[in-house]
């Protein structure tokens, strides 16, 4: 692959899964159609994952304004964002595949930066920088900006990038396959580790910046934690051979370590250097710590336990 602004650019596919989020989808689409990139050299694929509201209609109405640029599909068979992404990959024409969540936005030079990065022959898998933003200075907004998406740490410690900011080559997909659509969460972790085991170089690209809104309620945070916990249990079922020694995935639900708070000094060390954390008042740091330990940490464990009790015998992955 090569990219030169004086030549025909590399064709890029942008894949956006969505479920019941018309407002977020519109924000995303407005940013991706405004790319400073040759219109004939990229496509936008929206995959509705069985929305029960007007999201599919909203996507179709917006796509009608850009009939040569936007395609809208439905994935109603499997309720999974990974199944939706796979459906998009199935019709994608790009040599480069960009995965973006419906509620995120990108700068107008996003595709140019992606093309430049992938012009390097060694790049087939990259995670972009994600900046969390909020419209106010609420505690949850501060929490989101402080804890956010430590993509660089995910890549180098855990061998994956979240799918909301993931870019891969078609060659990588052809070699390692699609996402595991049987996973409710954690499919990005499993996919990234599969790429890592296959010998691909996992790249962090801090100059490709994507923006993600902070979650607006404790319920949203808790539901996310539940989903992550369920995904961890599903990975332990479906991919035991690869993660049998990973204590975060293969959990003994009676082990108190999963219920105890993270040591405060470890929590501080993990967030040190994050501007929102460093600038937070002491009382705000205490609140951030408590939200993490009570809502996210215990919520994740609750999701794991729920999935374990629901499926005492590991089912086969879809």
Q: How many of the other CB atoms lie within 10 Å of CB of 20? A: 16
On the question of pLDDT at 189 being above 60, the answer is yes
On the question of pLDDT at 318 being above 60, the answer is no
Q: Which domains does the chain have, with CATH numbers?
A: 12-216 (3.90.550.10), 221-310 (no CATH)
Per-residue pLDDT band at 7 (split at 50, 70, 90):
low
Q: What is the pLDDT of residues 121-169, one digit of tens each?
A: 789 999 999 999 987 789 999 999 999 999 999 999 999 999 999 999 9
On the question of pLDDT at 2 being above 50, the answer is no
On the question of pLDDT at 4 being above 70, the answer is no
Q: What is the pLDDT of residues 280-314, one digit of tens each?
A: 999 999 999 999 999 999 999 999 999 999 876 67
What's the gap between Cα 252 and its chain centre? 27
On the question of pLDDT at 77 being above 60, the answer is yes
The predicted pLDDT at position 278 comes to: 96
DSSP output for 108-159: TTHHHHHHHHHTSTT-SEEEEEEEEE-SS--HHHHHHHHHS--HHHHHHHHS
42-48 and 70-74 as β-strands: parallel, antiparallel, unpaired?
Answer: parallel
Q: Is the pTM of this model over 0.85?
A: yes
* Residue matched to tokens 């499926």: 311
Q: What is the pLDDT of residues 199-215, one digit of tens each?
A: 999 999 999 999 999 99
């Amino acid at each position: 692959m090569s990219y030169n602004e004086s030549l025909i650019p590399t064709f890029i596919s942008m894949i956006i899964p969505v479920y019941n989020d018309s407002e977020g989808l519109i924000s995303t689409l407005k940013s991706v159609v405004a790319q400073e990139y040759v219109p004939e050299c990229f496509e936008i694929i929206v995959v509705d994952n069985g929305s029960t509201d007007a999201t599919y209609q909203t996507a179709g109405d917006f796509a009608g304004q850009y009939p040569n640029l936007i395609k809208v599909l439905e994935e109603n068979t499997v309720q999974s964002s990974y199944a939706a992404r796979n459906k998009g990959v199935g019709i994608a024409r790009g040599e480069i595949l960009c995965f973006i969540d419906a509620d995120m936005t990108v700068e107008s030079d996003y595709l140019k930066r992606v093309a430049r990065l992938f012009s390097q022959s060694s790049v087939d898998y990259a995670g972009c920088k994600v900046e969390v933003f909020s419209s106010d200075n609420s505690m949850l907004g501060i929490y989101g900006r402080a804890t956010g998406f430590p993509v660089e740490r995910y890549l180098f410690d855990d061998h994956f990038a979240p799918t909301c900011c993931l870019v891969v080559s078609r060659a990588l997909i052809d070699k390692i396959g699609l996402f595991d659509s049987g996973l409710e969460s954690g499919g990005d972790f499993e996919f990234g580790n599969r790429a890592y085991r296959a010998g691909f170089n996992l790249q962090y690209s801090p100059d490709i910046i994507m923006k993600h809104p902070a979650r607006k309620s404790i319920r949203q945070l808790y539901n996310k934690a539940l989903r992550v916990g369920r995904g961890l249990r599903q990975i332990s079922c479906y991919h035991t051979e690869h993660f049998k020694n990973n204590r975060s995935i293969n959990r003994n639900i009676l082990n108190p370590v999963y219920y105890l708070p993270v040591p405060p000094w470890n929590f501080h060390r993990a967030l040190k250097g994050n501007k929102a954390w460093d600038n937070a008042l002491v009382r705000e740091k205490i609140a951030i710590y408590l939200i993490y330990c009570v809502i996210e940490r215990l919520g994740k464990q609750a999701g794991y336990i729920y999935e374990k009790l629901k499926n005492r015998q590991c089912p086969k992955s879809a």
